[in-house]
Structure 1
């Protein structure tokens, strides 16, 4: 009876509950830590010495925006900005000191109103993760001033995944790249010297980046790139695309002509070195500038037999060059599964569809199954384009349409649906769905 009473008192005091928590298998503790926010992860160290040891060896260290904002609001809300930076930096340094195991997955978010990257401790943090064999790094800078990535970063020899936002890369002279890096995402990043991310790189995404001309060494014959995305980034070197035989996914989008000194290439030359290409994203601007003064082909000399998904952004059906390129892409992709088009109406001065010989164009049948068109306004050019696609797609099963937001007429969708049903088409089983 006395023993039972003692156990009851222990349970009431919470010690029995803590004993059960501390007796969990280490693997289960690690799974729990993976699912907790950083602030709560650190607090588990008070449970017991066992939890403190597991936390100290946990390979994931995410210092996200929620963690830092919570830290500031709870402890330093009354301080001025510089004092907040010093205090937050000190705590992050203390976390590294208490973390005895290797940091393999590191995320640091720099808040918009707290530029902690200006602290001298930033060098220590990057040196720490470089020495611990970090494999995944996410450095997300939301402040106004760009973050200069410390030089120790370039010694992260085990790095496999990298994400940088609003950063500046100053690679050391002769930097040959990372041995194991396979995925890179750059947003608002400036590259100031020649470099390569390494021959193992498979995925490269760049959005609103400058200095990308310094990546020429990345595009050598031995490169392993399968995914490339370049959006609104300056200085594309079109010679890169002579070494893209392994490319499976390509995304290109831009608002103005690249300032690269290399000569622009035609659409067929851009894609002819990508026999494995399965997914392609292009915007209307590229479909204009890639003409390079040459005659637009009705069909590429070599079919893109692996292309299954084609996404075209900001397409003007009043622009003859864009329309011809779109149709050339479709006709050159005999196994195309999904065509996704986002329309841009621009200046509707002429109807490019009227200038095409629809009878001859519809002779090429394609295996299209899903057609998606966004921002319709119900124009004649749109119906002409839909007429052509419907007549050329005997396998079409699904048509998804979305009206442009400025079209505020509830009867317009019904009118367009009725007119589409009257268009002669190769497939009578295609279902029309409005989004």
Structure 2
């Protein structure tokens, strides 16, 4: 959708809201304003159905339905909705107006009233709700017959649900996000031919080979797989076949039946993904060896703009791996490092020395750095020293210390950061 269309739709949305207010006011006066009210109703009711649908799709679901009070002409306009988002805000609204036990019946009735294709369906539940597998799979069957293109099931407060095979008949899917499920494609399934993005967080014990499924979706541009990469589940050689990938997120538990021992394995994968722009890697349970950390890589990846790492920095081996990854992305603009999985010794020995000549390492294009759950360790100071010295375009480094970091250590950490040389004259360090 181009900028003009977006502007027009937003303008129509604002017009609809304003008209709702005007009509409410004018309904109080059946005399002098009657003609003006009818004229306004005629203007908005005569808009093309596609425009009305676009307006309704951008309203919260409960508000879209409530537009039926505008006039007789608008009484069933909401049945043209093509995008449905059932989230906790929607369920809270239902609980206040319809009671707590009617959610399933209302959603089923709602779906049956819709007239056109349903291109987007989101079921996002954070709080405990009464849903079972049969309910969800019944809706999947309905959606598979109604042109669904964007499908999200995110059920965080439920035991893993077993996906119906009806999902795999939704061949028009372009975007698929499924959390907390048992994922087993039927034998002979050849993939979703139009799928552009896949975010999959299935149950590791009961789901089948996710990697084999992913490579059958040849147009994939976004692939996010987490908490599932056990032996045999996903192989790097399978991911490497997805040449169109622009965003990749992996939890590196155990690939190809062997533990990740160095960044070498990652570079072998990235070398086959020329279009990659964003990379998210979770090293929390990887075992890095001394020999792996000391390897040198000459490969550079000019397209990659954003890197996110989740890893401990509790020893020189892991810090060296982080250095090697950062150095290999000279055009990277955003870096995020998270160490949320545990608390480690802030006195771990650093690998940097004051004599390191950072100007011989090469310059980075970094603009923003975010560091979450920092421990104030010397290794972290070492890494930040490198980033400040080699990033002439850096605007900010945001540090969010671990909750267990004592105020005294936090102050010492802040003073060390303030003493570091900055290649960028505008670089700021924000310590929260």
Q: Same fold (TM over 0.5)?
A: yes
- Cα distance in 1 for partners of 2:363, 2:53 equals 51
Equivalence map 1:34-183=2 (5 Å): 34-45=57-68, 47-77=70-100, 84=101, 87-109=102-124, 112-118=127-133, 122-183=136-197
Shift of 1:319: 0.8
- Cα distance in 2 for partners of 1:36, 1:238 equals 42
Alignment correspondent of 1:229? 224
SS of the equivalent of 2:266 reads helix
Change (3 A) 1:49 1:305: same
TM-score, scaled to structure 2: 0.73
Shift of 1:360: 6.9
Shift of 1:59: 2.0
SS of the equivalent of 2:116 reads coil
Shift of 1:129: 2.1
Change (3 A) 1:334 1:168: closer
Equivalence map 1:165-204=2 (5 Å): 165-187=179-201, 189-190=202-203
Alignment correspondent of 2:241? 243
| Residue number among 331, 345, 348 corresponding to 1:347 in the alignment | 345
Q: Deviations over 1:32-72 (max 9, x none)?
A: 42243333433434555532453233323334444444434
- Cα distance in 2 for partners of 1:427, 1:73 equals 54
Q: Report the count of equivalent residues.
A: 394
Q: Which has the larger radius of gyration?
A: 1
Alignment correspondent of 1:310? 307
Equivalence map 1:257-336=2 (5 Å): 257-258=253-254, 261=257, 264=260, 266-271=262-267, 272-285=271-284, 288-289=286-287, 291=289, 294-316=291-313, 318-336=314-332
Change (3 A) 1:307 1:417: same
- Cα distance in 2 for partners of 1:15, 1:146 equals 57
- Cα distance in 1 for partners of 2:32, 2:57 equals 29
Change (3 A) 1:19 1:150: farther
Taking only aligned residues, the RMSD between alpha carbons, in angstroms, comes to 4.0
Alpha-carbon contact 1:59-1:104 (below 8 Å) kept: yes
Shift of 1:16: 7.4
- Cα distance in 1 for partners of 2:186, 2:180 equals 19
Alignment correspondent of 1:195? none
Shift of 1:75: 3.7
Alpha-carbon contact 2:319-2:379 (below 8 Å) kept: no
Alpha-carbon contact 1:61-1:107 (below 8 Å) kept: yes
Alpha-carbon contact 1:230-1:253 (below 8 Å) kept: yes
- Cα distance in 1 for partners of 2:385, 2:156 equals 47
Change (3 A) 1:168 1:273: same
Shift of 1:183: 1.9
SS of the equivalent of 1:285 reads coil
Alignment correspondent of 1:365? 362
Alpha-carbon contact 1:239-1:262 (below 8 Å) kept: no
Shift of 1:351: 0.4
Alpha-carbon contact 1:341-1:374 (below 8 Å) kept: yes
Shift of 1:303: 2.0
Alpha-carbon contact 1:335-1:368 (below 8 Å) kept: yes
Further displaced range: 128-137 or 403-412? 403-412
Shift of 1:182: 1.6
SS of the equivalent of 1:10 reads coil
SS of the equivalent of 1:359 reads coil
Q: Deviations over 1:103-144 (max 9, x none)?
A: 22223356744333355x655533332222122222333453
